Structure 1
Amino acid sequence: MSIFAPHPDRRPAIVSGASSGIGAATAVALAELGRPVALGARRIEQCAELADKIRADGGEAFAHRLDVTEPDSIEEFVAAAEDAIGPTEIVVSSAGDIEFGQVHTMDPERFLQQVQVHLLGAHRLAHRVLPGMLRRQRGDIVLISSDCAPAPRPHTGAYSAAKAGLEAMAADMRMALEGTGIRTSLVRPGPTLTGMGMNATPESIGPMLADWKVWGFARHSNLLRPSDLAAAVVAVVSTPRGAHLTLVEVQPEAPVRPAADAAASDIR
């Protein structure tokens, strides 16, 4: 017999960075499971539109502005979300953007902004919701990382450093929260087609991709979809209590080679 009570039937979830990309796809996927979801991002109009769609499809959703770099914004968001859908059972920290550039040439304020969003923003969100989770002795905190954390790519120094810090924080949180009933998990995406980095200029992208190839980071051109990462988040938070998926890394599958090429490769 399990020593853990099952997840409650109602598991309200809050999702940062929910206006697009992985955050938006995760909010939709959780709502399709019957989870009430609170969508937060700076682009509140997009969050509100997505919340309307979720409700139109029969789900329960709430939208509120959220800037994870502002402590007051996090307080207002979590308070409003819990008033609207109930105490937080699931947190998905997916707010983020990427600044491309070499570390030694990047302005320190731009570097700091990456740390503010990806690391401090995740910490602020966890810090705000954890007291309630600790009282209830259950909850899932899911941090969206990147495969740039263990293997930085050229021209992603600030982003990679922030994500590496996020993974170190997650490891510490797992140790600190062991035995509390709260699970801290990482979902680590590989290359994913989102809006991140779309403000980069061709002048910066060209040299970056050339360096990626030199260092072996461009094996193929396939990209993950945001829904692929949402499926990973769903797997993490849907795992029955008593088991803990601490890290799920998702990579895009390479294009399937023609059968003749594959056979020739096998012969060699």
Structure 2
Amino acid sequence: MPRFEPHPARRPTLIAGASSGIGAATATELASRGFPVALGARRVDRCEQLAEQIRRDGGEAVALPLDVTEADSVTQFVHRAREQLGDIEVLVAGAGDTFFGRLYETGTEDFESQIQTHLIGANRLATAVLPGMVKRRRGDVIFVGSDVALRQRPHMGAYGAAKAGLLAMVTNLQMELEGTGVRASIVHPGPTQTGMGWSLPPESIAPALEDWARWGHARHAYFLRAADLARAIAFVAETPRGGFVASMEVQPEAPLSSAPRERQQLKYPEAP
């Protein structure tokens, strides 16, 4: 006899932040694997376009407005998704944006907005679906974190603080949900090429890149693609019952060197 009942054949899934980037890629990936998906974002028109494409490709998708900074919006999103798709089996919480700026030059309102979006918003989503999951004794809540939560990065202090708080919240959830049948996971993307943050003017990005290199955060110029993270999130969701992925960090692979490794000469700094 198996220790756990397998996943249901149909697993309705909420995807917060589905209008672009990692969220949109995750919606497409999960829908292609048979997950009915509810796409939520403030830019609901983009979610509508993506949902239409998913349906044309044979998947099941609905698009709904969602602003994770508004409690009523989260409540309505979860309620309408449940009405249209059924009980929620999976949550992918990835709504958010990135604020670039040195902490000492960042106002408290901008700092707070990052906490509201990445931490409080994720908490609103989780608390809206977890009681039902615990009652059914199954479910996955998957949070999109950041490698910045693991290794803080200059010019991303507000974002990093929010993601570090998210990591702490998920770690507590894992302990408190143990034995309920509900699994809490966090996926940490490394540098990823999406629209989040990269629409800023060069005068905002350039100082950050310079400081990243100074502190060892920019070893090469390759970035992950949103599809790379979508596959990682799908892996977490599809992990068979009996085990779960507590934390996953995904980093971009460096470009291949022009010379074989055995011919490279490493140069170390001279001793003082």
Q: Compute the TM-score of the two structures, normalised by the length of structure 1.
A: 0.97
Q: CA deviation at 1:201?
A: 2.2
The CA deviation at 1:261 is: 4.2
Q: Quote the residue 2:2 is aligned against.
A: 2
Change (3 A) 1:198 1:3: same
- How far apart are the structure 2 equivalents of 1:267 and 1:99? 36
Cα RMSD (Å) of the superposition? 1.2
Q: Does 1:41 align with 2:33?
A: no
Q: What SS class does the counterpart of residue 103 from structure 2 fall into? A: coil
Is the counterpart of residue 238 in structure 1 residue 238 in structure 2? yes
Superposed, which structure 2 residues align to 1:133-152 within 5 Å? 133-152=133-152
Aligned pairs, number: 267
Counting aligned pairs with the same residue, the percent is 54
Matches within 5 A, 1:62-211: 62-211=62-211
Q: Distance in 1 between matches of 2:120 and 2:191?
A: 23
Counterpart residue identity of residue 252, structure 1: P
Relative distance call for 1:204 and 1:134 in structure 2 (3 A) is same
Q: Which residue of 2 aligns with 1:265?
A: 264
- Whole-Å separation in 2 of the counterparts to 1:197 and 1:144: 16
Moved over 6 A (4+): none
Q: In the TM superposition, what is the alpha-carbon distance from 1:2 to its structure 2 partner?
A: 2.2
Query: Alpha-carbon deviation of 1:199?
Result: 3.6
TM-score by length of 2: 0.96
Amino acid at match of 1:183: R
Task: Say which is worse superposed, 244-253 or 202-211, in terms of deviation.
Answer: 202-211
C-alpha change, 1:3 and 1:211, in structure 2 (3 Å) is same
Q: Which one-letter code corresponds to 2:227 in the other structure?
A: S
Counterpart AA for 1:262: R
SS in 2 for 1:14: strand
SS of the equivalent of 1:25 reads helix
Query: Contact 2:198 / 2:205 at 8 angstroms: preserved in 1?
Result: no
Q: How far did residue 205 of structure 1 move?
A: 1.3
Contact 2:42 2:66 in 1 (8 A): yes
Deviation at 1:248, TM superposition (A): 1.0
Distance 1:200 1:165 in 2: 25
For 1:131, give the aligned amino acid: P
Q: Distance in 1 between matches of 2:118 and 2:230?
A: 18
1:213 maps to 213
Give CA-to-partner distance per residue, 1:244-263, whole Å, 9 cap, x none: 111111000000112x3423
Q: Distance in 1 between matches of 2:53 and 2:18?
A: 13
Q: Quote the offset at 1:142 in angstroms.
A: 0.3
Shift of residue 202 of structure 1? 1.6
Structure 2: runs of 5+ lacking an equivalent: 268-272
Q: Name the CA shift for 1:267/1:104 in 2 (closer, same or farther; >3 Å).
A: closer
SS, match of residue 185 in structure 2: strand
Identify the residue that residue 24 of structure 1 maps to in structure 2. 24
Question: CA deviation digits over 1:163-204, x for unaligned, max 9?
Answer: 000000000000010000000001000000011013422222
* 2:38 alignment partner AA: A
Alignment match, 2:60: 60
Q: What is the SS of the residue equivalent to 2:264? A: helix
Whole-angstrom CA distance in 1 between matches of 2:24 and 2:214:
34
3-state SS of paired residue (1:193): coil
Structure 2 distance, partners of 1:211, 1:235, is 34
